[in-house]
A and B are shown apart, each in its own frame.
Chain A
Amino acid sequence: MNAFVQPGFWIFVLLMAGIYCIFALGLQVQYGLGGILNFGHVAMMALSSYTMAILVITYNWNLYLACFAGVVMAGLGGAFLGLTTLRLRGDYFSIVSIAFSEIVRYIIHNSDHLTGGAQGSLNIPSTRGFASYTDQFNKVLINIQGKIKPIFGSFASRDMALLLIVWLSAIILLICMSFIQRTSWARVLRATREDDDVPASLGKNVFLFRLSAVILGSVVGGIAGIYWALEFSILDPADFQTIVTFFAWMVIILGGATRVKGVPLGALFFGFLYAGTRFFQFPPFTWFDSVQRAYLRIMIIGFVLIFLMLKRPQGIFGKRAEMVLE
């Protein structure tokens, strides 16, 4: 029950919700506009965070340059995924995109000399003798902590400082995405969602529009990966399992699939749902021991996903009319 009343825990939950919000925004661009069902989105997070960590640890790059390179890498990953598979039919693309993310994870898991392999980023070869990529960033966070101390008092922790940065980025990205929704690019993409032939007959290259949507979404997903890496200070290939992509899908569905503004609401809802299930300290949950309750948490995510799809496919905040067009 202790963690339940600790503000530090809830700051962490909000912070994770912010990272999921950014991560899901990347998917939202692809699905909400282009109707692209990408199930390999977590690969972009893995690509950006690992690229950043390797560049900082092994090659002593400046952190910000490395972050930028990481995000570019995620974009390149999206380009590779799109170029090779986007010409396939919808179901094929979804299956192959899952495979893409799993292959990225397999390669990270098995390339000991580059990524540290199964032991995670602590094992990335370093010239300085210790594998940490957050030193430079921690100074910034400590600086921010000092600045917000008068406002937040004892809550001005490392997580709180990062929380502000993450949600600020999330809001900026949200505004950008809402702006993009009104461009002609987005209108063409929305047309491709319903039908390929009409936009094609108007001289639009449907493939290029879809590809650019996948790349844009991947870049946004890559930004989430950077924040993920900065929050945990250590990376593990097991962090980037396919289930993370489904968490993002859940955020989108909760927020109402076709609405950008729903994403932060969905992310908050998901964050509290996922964290809140830790506190089921009453029957029938007390019948299970703590290990079993950990299994139960994932099961609850599964049940919510199924229930939503059966009863409210448009999400909690979504409009039904926008969904049934399919």
Chain B
Amino acid sequence: MAEFVQLLFNGLVTGSILAMAAVGVSLVYGVLRLVNFAAGDFMTLGAFIAVFLSISKGLPLIFSVIVAILGICLLGLALDWLLWKRLRENKAGTLALFLVATGVALILRQSILMIFSSGSRKFAINETATFGFLGAQIATSQLIVLLLATSAIITLGLFMAKSTIGKDMRAFSDNASLAAVSGINVNKVVRYVWIINGILSALAGIFQGMVQGRFDSTMGWTLLLPIFAAVVLGTIGDAYGALLGGMTLGLVMEMSTWHIFFGGIPSSYKPVVAFATLGIVLLVKPEGLLGVKARSI
């Protein structure tokens, strides 16, 4: 029982972080048709900026986090202006978008290594402080991250459901040309997508860094595959699907280490478990969890 509670809790924490990042990736895909390979490195960069300001420069943590979020939002907007806008105008194909995104990811990761050097980092939080809950030992930092991530997700959900710009975004993901014809400002939607993506990926990166304890420049890339799995699981381009996919995979990944499953799958296989889950779901329902079967004519 204690083990179950522990794993359930870990699963919720991993799931909420995955879900946040996955929504960012899914929104970017839905509106821009861009598979953002740099998403993981956006997260890493957010965490590195925050840890640099709060540890090396001694600034308050909240302030550092806000600067990190602003930085990632600006990065997204700048890249859109420099690259994605031009590629959209050129009507670039999937391959071009894929390769440019990979190029961006490579440059970002190497820049992080170059600017912050290759050592691992740590936030000034005590991740070993725990409290007992139903026999399990829960880390206080994990609980705080879970609460913050949940509130971020709920805020985002409300924003997507209620605000005009949220509705515009969903309209755009559903049918871009129809949305454009009905007078939705394309550039405004694109700008908001990068801002929301910046907030989500910076926060997800910082949270992951806090939960993990020590992290280095490969943190985001390691998470990128489970994030993609979550996005595809919840139907690519669907923000609510990405939330669901992220939470599902987080729980499945953590639960797979429970000893009742073949004596517990080794934790180094978690990304494999994520994709095995995705594979099984796609075999049964190729359009993803929330997808509607495309009707062929």
Contacts and interface: CB of A to CB of B under 8 A. Distances in A.
Interface string B91-123: 011111011101111110111011000100000
Contact of A309 (B92, B225, B286): B92
A309 B95 CA distance: 9
Contacts of B92: 309, 313
Contacts of A296: 110, 114
Interface residues of A, number: 46
Nearest to A102: B225
Nearest to B282: A88
Given A90-B94, A246-B99, A249-B99, A110 B286 contact: no
B94 A96 contact: no
Contacts of A246: 99, 102, 106
B200 interface: no
Contacts of A87: 286
A292 B92 CA distance: 33
Contact of B114 (A292, A302, A313): A292
B270 to A, nearest CB: 9
Contacts, number: 121
Contact of A299 (B110, B236, B279, B286): B110
Contact of A243 (B98, B106, B228, B275): B106
A31 B95 contact: yes
Interface residues of B, number: 43
Interface string A275-309: 00000000000001001100110110111111011
B161 interface: no
Contact of A92 (B96, B232, B283): B232
Given A295-B110, A295-B114, A302-B110, A99 B228 contact: yes
A95 interface: yes
Contacts of A257: 95
Nearest to A31: B95
B110 A103 contact: no
A194 interface: no
Interface string A56-85: 000000000000000000000000000011
A257 B110 CA distance: 27
Contacts of B188: none
A185 interface: no
A326 B93 contact: yes
B83 interface: yes
B83 A98 contact: no
Interface in B171-214: none
B211 to A, nearest CB: 21
A310 interface: yes
Contacts of A99: 225, 228-229, 275, 278
B32 to A, nearest CB: 12
Contacts of A253: 99
A91 B35 contact: yes
B102 A305 contact: yes
Contacts of A92: 232, 236, 282
A39 interface: yes
B132 interface: no
Residue with the highest number of chain A CB atoms closer than 10 Å, among B105, B110, B229, B278 = B110
> Ordered nearest first, which 7 A-B pairs have the shortest CB separation?
A302-B106, A305-B103, A302-B103, A326-B93, A302-B107, A306-B103, A295-B110
Interface of A: 31, 37, 39, 84-85, 87-88, 90-92, 94-96, 98-99, 102-103, 106-107, 109-110, 243, 246, 249-250, 253, 257, 288, 291-292, 295-296, 298-299, 301-306, 308-310, 313, 323, 326
